[in-house]
Amino acid sequence: MPQREDRGRGARRLVDVAAPVAAVLAVLAVWEIWVRLSGTPVYVVPAPSDIAARLMDRPGHFARHGAVTLAEAAAGFALGCAASVAAATVMAHSRAAERTLYPLALLVKVTPVIAVAPLFVIWFGFGSFPKVLIAALITFFPVLVSAIAGFRSVNSGALDFMRSVSASTVEIFLKLRLPSALPYLFAAFRITVPLAVIGAVVGEWFTGDRGLGSVIIVAHNNIDMPTLFAAIVVLAAIGVALTALTAYAEGRTLFWHESRQAQRR
């Protein structure tokens, strides 16, 4: 019986991997055939084979710029998460603080990043810092909202119990509120990790000669579509890898949570 269960689980995993891979391959095949048959010029839409050839032609170039974007996105994500969790901690404990700070956070959210990105260069210069800040800015609000909701979604019985044993605010936070908030936080992380990559790329559009954003903008100016699409492929790979990493961390951290146990069943 256990052997049959193992085989069934293995088959399910195979389908889980094979189905999206097959879908991607099918899309690429249709794309390639369409470009070839229609005679679409490479400067309008490159065929997947053109993009692959460009990637193979200059792997070091894309890896180097991809590493810059990855570092900026990761730093921005970490900064944005740290700032939003800190702000959410204060807001979750004080309605007055929430009423005061939330409108400011909303202002950050509704400010178009594309409008402030050039100003960040004037304020902070040409290095990585403005790109990290833009990535942090994009990350901030979704994590903040989820963190506030998570910190407040505690089991009332557990809260009453901790208060009855005179647990301090810090103890209640670390042992009850923070664990309760983790599912909310990881949901927000999964949403914001790709956003942080986009933030870093937007920052790179405006200045600097490093990172995939600058590769994209130069390729756009040069009407070099294979390079532009190759950079997008690398960006997509970074986004998928970071999302998978987040999901892995979520699985390791929330092994106790009912959602994980239900998945296992």
Partner 1 sequence: MMRLLLTSLALVLMTACAERQDATPGPSPAADALQSAEKLVFMAGFKPQANLPFVAVYVAQERGYFREEGLDVEIRHAATGEHLKLLMSGDVDVTTAAASSVLKRRADPGLPVVAFALFGQRGQQAYVALESSGMRTPKDWEGKTFGYRTSVPPDYLAMLSANGVDRSKIREVNAGFDVRVLTEGRVDLLAVFKSNEPDTIRRLGFEVLQWSPEDFGVDNIGLTFITREDMVAGSPDRLARFLRATLRAMEDIQADPDGAVSVVMKYAPEEDRDHQRFMLQAEMADAFGPVTGAHGFGWMTDEQWKVLHEQLVQFDALPEFDYRAAYTHTILRAAREDKPRTNTP
Contact residues toward partner 1 (CB under 8 A) are 41-44, 118-119, 121-122, 125-126, 206-209, 214, 217-218, 220-225
Do 120 and 134 form a contact (C-beta atoms < 8 A)? yes
Q: In the numeric block, which tokens belong to residue 181?
A: 């908030």
Would you state the torsion angle of the CA atoms of residues 8, 12, 18, 24, taken in this order, to the nearest 10 degrees? 160
| Of 150 and 213, CB closest to partner 1 | 213
Write out the two tokens for 23: 């879908």
Q: How far is the CB of 131 from partner 1 (least distance, A)?
A: 12
- Diameter over CA atoms, the chain: 75
Q: How far is the CB of 228 from partner 1 (least distance, A)?
A: 11
Residue 93 or 220: which CB sits closer to partner 1?
220
CB of 203 to partner 1, least distance (A): 10
Q: How far apart are CA 16 and CA 11, in angstroms?
A: 9
C-beta separation of 232 from 109 below 8 A = no
Intra-chain end-to-end CA distance of the chain, in Å: 16
Question: 45 vs 158, which CB is nearer to partner 1?
Answer: 45
Are residues 139 and 87 in contact, defined by beta-carbon separation less than 8 angstroms? Answer: no
Q: How far is the CB of 146 from partner 1 (least distance, A)?
A: 33
- How many CB atoms are closer than 10 A to CB 6? 10
Task: Report the residue number, 142 or 208, with the smaller CB distance to partner 1.
Answer: 208
* Residue 198 and residue 134 in contact, taking contact as beta carbons nearer than 8 Å: no
Minimum CB–partner distance for residue 69 and partner 1 (Å): 15
Q: Is 109 exposed, middle or buried (0-12, 13-18, 19+ CB in 10 A)?
A: middle
Cβ 83 to partner 1, closest distance in Å?
Answer: 25
Considering beta carbons, is residue 217 or 238 the nearer one to partner 1?
A: 217
Whichever of 44 and 174 has its CB closer to partner 1, that residue is 44
